[in-house]
Amino acid sequence: MIEALSSISNCLSNHMKVCIAEKPSVAKDIASVIGAKQRKDGYYEGNGYQVTWTFGHFCTLKEPHDYTPQWKSWRLEDLPMIPPSFGIKLIDNSGVLKQFGIIEKLVQEADEVINCGDAGQEGELIQRWVLLKAKCTVPVKRLWISSLTEVAIKEGFEKLQEGSKFDNLYAAGSARAIGDWLLGMNATRLFTKKYGQNKAVLSIGRVQTPTLAIIAQRQKEINEFVIEEYWELKTIYRETEFTATIDRLKTFEKAEKGLAYLMEHPFEITDYEKKEGKEGNPKLYDLTALQVDSNKKYGYSAEDTLKYIQLLYEKKLVTYPRVDTTYLSEDLHPKMAGILQQLTPYRQYTEVILANPIPKLKAVFDDKKVTDHHAIIPTGVSPGALSLDEKRIYDMIVRRLLAAFYPECRVATTTVLGKVGQVEFKATGKQILEMGWRELYQHETATKKDAAEAEKVMPNFEIGESGPHEPRIHHGKTSPPKNYTEATLLRAMETAGKQVDDDEMRELLKDNGIGRPSTRANIIETLFRRKYIEKKKKNLVATQTGMDLIDTIQVELLKSAELTGLWEKKLRLIEKGEYALEDFKKELIDMVVNLTQEVKRTHGRIINVITEPTTTTDQGAGSAKKSPPKPEIDIETLHCPKCKDKLLKKGKTAFGCVNFQVCGFKIPYQLMGKTLTNKQVYDLLSKGKTTKIKGFQIPGSDHPVEGKLEMDGDFNINLA
């Protein structure tokens, strides 16, 4: 087919097809496959094709002041801002403007355009906006591929689709962008002008605010948690520990009485059950699951994981990464053996699978569960030089594919019931009978530990047997809820805040998740940038600013994960052609109007902390051109220079190490009669010295002294 196209193109030299890829490296790959091998300024040419590229967003929705100069100033009386219609504009960047000029010229002279953008909602939006701005009037075809291998690109060009087939995808992308603009622009200005002080910008976003609310609510639960002591009765019988099934005891006195009672009676087995079963094979990776596991195993942030897998995708080693399904399309089943055969570094595992025909498992192959793309799998292309981070992510993806086809893991679960007098006891144990797919994960420390615990084989018990035992009292304390990590937050975003462990239930809730797999990492990073959350080890903690902001927002709609999840569901329905963009826009306009009226007439908490917004896909920042003042330096986010791993805290007279009793490090607020600014303290901590400071009062001197403060190797502060 490609050869036939080549022949026709040579005969009709004036018939030029312009391909627009998502970035230069992808354009180069496509050009190489279709024969456009002549490099020009901003594009490749040859064989009847011109292949050019974008690099990220070239266009954006117009800013408020583009509609009317009145909206340039942030004023309550101008809200809500509802443009009569939404327009787009080019981003004011010299590189963007130059490359767009090239694209525009090529499109104007083309006979046909082939949209080779990223095969997803955001990629569709980027390309459509560029074509709209370039005033494209010629027919548009769509290249839709799940990997960048030569085979995939060739097959994609043989099966080019009509661009109009993806109109609903474009409509969903437009609806998302307009929704983010309407809520982000209006709510940010509304709350900033109503509750912000000291030039504080209170950034509100359709997705970021409910995400922050999830973290803040957990923080409140932890802060308000009251630790309670409890006591449990345990005993050891035949080298097996049993725990009493009665309610936890609230006092040590009751536990002592219970222990005395246990010592007067023998232990008796009342029931013994051993069941054999199977541990289901893990599902293939979607982006969220990969981000969750990489955070658990390697501490990678969601953003880092997305970066590494994007690099693997561009190196043709894995399929399209921004996916929300854990299934493969059924037409991939015949190709699976070939992919596995090419994974030569994993031959010891692939030989086990390939010893028999690969089964068409419903848990793996299901067209009804596949959305724009299938789950993330290796392409079979042999990896060359990879960084350690890329190797780790690639290995995770390969092992997950292998695990899907490996024999099941067989286990035996034992439950034993007993009693001492009238007090009932219980013990459980698990034994792995056949490792099955777990063999693929024996190299992981956590799995080894789990396996070791599972291998604590319980003895066989006989119902009615009895004998001596060793009772004891276990003293414990209740634990507060755990802080979110990026892994658990991603899962919470995926399920609109619901705690769901079951894989099948998670699949059902995905349509109502907050954000999309491709945007969640960016939302988390946005909350970090705006100083609404911070990371303590692996834990995500809401800052005081973040807590204050959530407390200030009395409108539940803005911070409800469930309601935001319903919006996401409507966006997916738009994508399927089952809901209209105009209806979605009308709903959002009504909501913004009602929100504005409600906030204007209510009172709330004034927030003084200055935050620094940045423009993202979740519009909560206002103008991209005009940045507000930089935030004041928060010393309590810095680490002690002496301890390194401990934070500093604010005391009555000084900033000091949180572990001051052991470490002893502190910086007084006032030195030699001069009160230090946060910037001067920051310079001391980060650079070891300040700039020149006037006004030091030195004993024996009649006049104020000017000088720099310096910190020596023993962490003493001296005037230089």
Catalytic residue numbers read 320
With contact defined as beta carbons under 8 Å apart, do 380 and 339 qualify?
A: yes
3-state helix, strand and coil shares in percent for the chain, rounded to the nearest 5: 45, 20, 35
With contact defined as beta carbons under 8 Å apart, do 306 and 314 qualify?
A: no
CA atoms within 13 A on the CB side of 578: 6
**Who's near 643: CB < 8 A, 6+ residues apart?**
657, 659, 663, 665
Residue labelled with tokens 């067209």: 367
**Who's near 39: CB < 8 A, 6+ residues apart?**
none
**Who's near 598: CB < 8 A, 6+ residues apart?**
555
With contact defined as beta carbons under 8 Å apart, do 378 and 343 qualify?
A: yes
Q: Assess whether the previous peptide bond of 80 is cis (omega < 30° from 0).
A: yes
What is the DSSP pairing of strand 423-434 with strand 409-420?
Answer: antiparallel
Q: Could you write out the three-class secondary structure of 652-685?
A: CCEEEECCHHHHCCEEECEECCEECCHHHHHHHH
> In what side-by-side order are the strands of the sheet with 49-53?
38-40, 43-46, 49-53, 17-21, 112-116, 140-142, 161-162
For the stretch 270-273, contacts whose Cβ atoms lie closer than 8 Å and that sit 24 or more positions apart, written own/partner, are 270/417, 270/418, 270/419, 270/424, 270/463, 271/415, 271/416, 271/417, 271/463, 272/414, 272/415, 272/416, 272/417, 272/460, 272/461, 272/462, 272/463, 273/414, 273/415, 273/416
Type and span of the H or E element at 85: none
Instruction: Report residue 50 as tokens.
Output: 């011109």
Torsion angles phi and psi, residue 153, rounded to 5? -65, -45
**By three-state DSSP, how is residue 244 classified?**
strand
The alpha-carbon radius of gyration of the chain (Å, integer) is: 31
Beta pairing partners, 420: 267, 423
CA distances from 251 to 342, 475, 555 (A): 64, 10, 44
Angle in degrees, 0-180, between the axes of helices 544-552 and 208-224, rounded to the nearest 10: 110
**Who's near 714: CB < 8 A, 6+ residues apart?**
none
Instruction: Report residue 675 as tokens.
Output: 């009160």
**Who's near 84: CB < 8 A, 6+ residues apart?**
none
CA atoms within 13 A on the CB side of 680: 18
**By three-state DSSP, how is residue 52 classified?**
strand
Amino acid of residue 359:
P
With contact defined as beta carbons under 8 Å apart, do 598 and 79 qualify?
A: no
